[in-house]
Amino acid sequence: MSYPTPNVWDMNPSRRRRGSPAGQRCRCAECEALAEGMVLDPEACMRAVCDDIGTAGWSVSAVLGDEFAPPWAYTIGLWLSHQGPELTMFGLPVEHMTVILNSIGDRIADGEPIEAGDYIDGICPCTLSVRPVHASWRMTSLFTVSDRYYGYVRPPFLQVVWPDRKGRFPGDLGFQPRYEGRQPMLWLPQEDHPPGTWTRIDQLP
């Protein structure tokens, strides 16, 4: 699977890490299992998420992506720790999205308001757009770990959206076709979203 690399390299790393000392790779159960080719233990993963939230204020959960769907990542804990929406991002390498989400999380933790309609600069060379996530998408399995952590509560989410090489975003006139489908347009109700991977996410293998 190829990734759109322009506009997102040389990102400024977040000051806040996921509970791992500098110079060490992440030791959470999820990363350990993936590194060793093991089957993930859901309870151990949830303990790692809770540890992250207790240490740093939030955690970032990622879905690696495969031949059926691009990768995506989302925060868990910002709503609890900082009374703000959780964040999600799609279609870039997981390590890039983790840096971006953690960096925005740092800004929220430092008191900077992040709202739908904002544009974010200073994290990567491109300007990022912040869009609302329609409530209909909260009924899908996109945010499974968040749903397990919060139980019956469904905190609001904001989608962090990256542009094409010409600075246009999904849904904009002239958005480059090569990037179509890598990011869902979660600001649309699910039933109004163009049919594709994201509208069928719960039916994929």
Q: pLDDT by residue (tens digit) across 52-69?
A: 999 999 999 999 888 889
Cut 0.95: pTM above it: no
For residues 143 and 74, the answer to whether their CB atoms sit within 8 Å is: yes
- Confidence at residue 40, expressed as pLDDT on a 0 to 100 scale: 60
156/134 Cα distance (integer angstroms): 9
Q: What is the mean pLDDT of residues 183-196?
A: 96
Beta strands in 119-203 (DSSP E): 119-120, 128-132, 157-161
Output the CA–CA distances (angstroms, integers) from residue 27 to 14, 64, 74, 168, in the order listed: 18, 17, 19, 37
Domain ranges of the chain: 63-203
